[in-house]
Amino acid sequence: MPLSLLAVLAVSACVPGAGAARVTGETARGAGRHQLAAGQQLRSRFVLIERLEAVQELQEQGEQTGKEGGDPVPGKNFPKVGKLASYGKGLFRSLTFRDPEHLGMGSFGDAWRAYDNERKEYVVLKIFFYRLFGEYKYLTGRTRDGSQEVEEAEKECLEIQRLFSVPGADTDPGARHICRCYENHTTTTDAEDVDEPAFLVLEDCGQSLKHYEQATFKKPWSWRKRVVEGILEAVRFLSQQNLIHHDLKPDNVCVTDAGEAKLIDFGAMQVWPNKTDPCLSTAGYSAPEWTGRCFDATAPSSAYDSYATGIILLELLCGKGSFDISNPESPCTSWLSFGIDANAVQTAKELTNSNASLRPSPTRALSLLRGL
């Protein structure tokens, strides 16, 4: 069955490291936000064309592989991935995953949903691939050396695992709103494992908030409010560890079937108050202080992410484009917000205050929302 455009674009957004293109604060210096957004949109179109061409090539390659046999093809065939276990003096690969379902492809990661027999739950596997002489192949221990994408994904996975190793993380309500990276299988430690695909085992965190964009207002206000509460809980959890996600947007917020928000894509994360280059963010959701100088180190560590959360709240309240995104302090004008408590709009406006030091903490914003 051919890969659908929805599979390529929608579901892969909830796999960490597969986020949309970003721009840097240095690049944005002196440029208007609308110009940045327009340039980013144009670049996204080129990325879309490249991905569609790649999907067509993969379909043709997969059909040929099916006729002749051979190695599994990314985007077409689920490879035999598992976990190495010892048996006597040897090793064998336990095929831990079953019932695979293809979700979509990023620039270098092929996403599959499968049942994990050990965890007794569905997980997402991100399996890395590369292109060689016009053919797509899964990366293995022999071919992964020098792959910057795999190294960055591995680093992000380890950072997420570190977040959950912090004392008290297991009981912190904010931690459950971080999409977990369970296992990292990108480093080969045994000679018998060099031909196995490099992959990550991730929590199944549902669809991206971007996926719900067209149907947002079919969801009750209680659903939308709960999503924002989850984002604020996660921001609070990160800020307690002096961490800034620094790229919050609908693409990087997943929503489970139960309506619980989960943050993904920590590739732009910053450690407050120290700034590291490149300082990444996305036009339209980046705070005013970002342009040219990243976050404001004199403001609370939660201030930058609070601004992006306020923009997301305004979009959930008013509808995307119903307010001037370059001036989020303007009132919500959409009739779709009719009947929503005015305190919710006020909370969003406070979160998007142009003065970073005056934005409410996540705890304060949570109190305002939960008091509605």
Domain annotation covers residue 229:
yes
What is the predicted pLDDT for the residue at 1? 38
Domain annotation covers residue 154:
yes
Determine contact, residues 103/113, Cβ cutoff 8 Å.
yes
Q: Tell which residue, 264, 229, 231, has the closest CA to residue 11.
A: 264
**HSE, side-chain direction, 13 A CA sphere, residue 135:** 13
Domain residue limits at 240: 207-370
Domain annotation covers residue 32:
no
Residue 201, token pair as written in the block: 């085992």
Same domain, 105 and 169: yes
Q: How far is CA 295 from CA 163, 166, 181, 195, in A?
A: 21, 24, 26, 43
Domain annotation covers residue 30:
no
Same domain, 297 and 180: no
Same domain, 309 and 357: yes
Residue 307, token pair as written in the block: 């601004």
Same domain, 64 and 194: yes
Q: Which residue has the tokens 């006597």?
A: 88
Q: Which residues pair with 271 in a beta bridge?
A: 243, 274
Q: Is 80 annotated as a binding residue?
A: no
Same domain, 193 and 285: no
What is the predicted pLDDT for the residue at 111? 92
CATH number at residue 131: 3.30.200.20
* Apex 307 CA angle, 301 and 312, nearest 5: 135
Same domain, 149 and 171: yes
User: From CA 109, how far away is CA 263, in angstroms rounded?
Assistant: 19
What is the predicted pLDDT for the residue at 191? 45
CATH number at residue 252: 1.10.510.10
Long-range CB contacts (within 8 A, 24+) of 287-292: 287/356, 288/354, 289/356, 290/25, 290/28, 291/25, 291/28, 291/29, 292/25, 292/26, 292/28, 292/29, 292/30
* Apex 240 CA angle, 239 and 245, nearest 5: 25
Same domain, 219 and 178: no
Domain annotation covers residue 359:
yes
Same domain, 278 and 155: no
Same domain, 219 and 189: no
Q: Which of 203, 222, 256 is the last residue of a domain?
A: 203
What is the predicted pLDDT for the residue at 15? 55
User: From CA 261, how far away is CA 231, in angstroms rounded?
Assistant: 6
Number of domains in the chain: 2
Nearest 5°: phi and psi at 212? -90, 5
User: From CA 110, how far away is CA 245, in angstroms rounded?
Assistant: 24
Q: Provide the residue-wise pLDDT of the chain in tens; the chain has 372 residues.
A: 333 333 333 334 475 444 443 444 444 444 444 444 444 554 554 444 454 454 444 444 444 444 444 577 787 888 878 765 544 454 445 668 989 999 988 778 889 999 998 889 999 999 998 877 778 888 886 666 657 888 888 899 999 999 999 999 989 999 999 999 999 888 765 444 667 788 999 999 999 998 887 766 678 888 999 999 999 999 999 999 999 999 999 999 999 999 999 999 998 999 999 887 778 889 889 999 887 678 888 899 999 999 999 999 988 887 776 766 566 556 666 655 556 667 787 888 899 999 999 999 999 999 988 875
Domain annotation covers residue 149:
yes
Centre a 10 Å sphere on the Cβ of residue 151 and count the other Cβ atoms it contains: 14
Same domain, 153 and 225: no
Same domain, 195 and 261: no
Contacts (Cβ under 8 Å, ≥6 apart) of 17: 106, 109, 126, 149, 152, 153, 156, 265, 267
Same domain, 140 and 184: yes
Q: Which of 183, 203, 223 is the last residue of a domain?
A: 203
DSSP state of 96: -
Q: Which of 203, 226, 253 is the last residue of a domain?
A: 203
Domain annotation covers residue 9:
no
Nearest 5°: phi and psi at 67? -75, -40
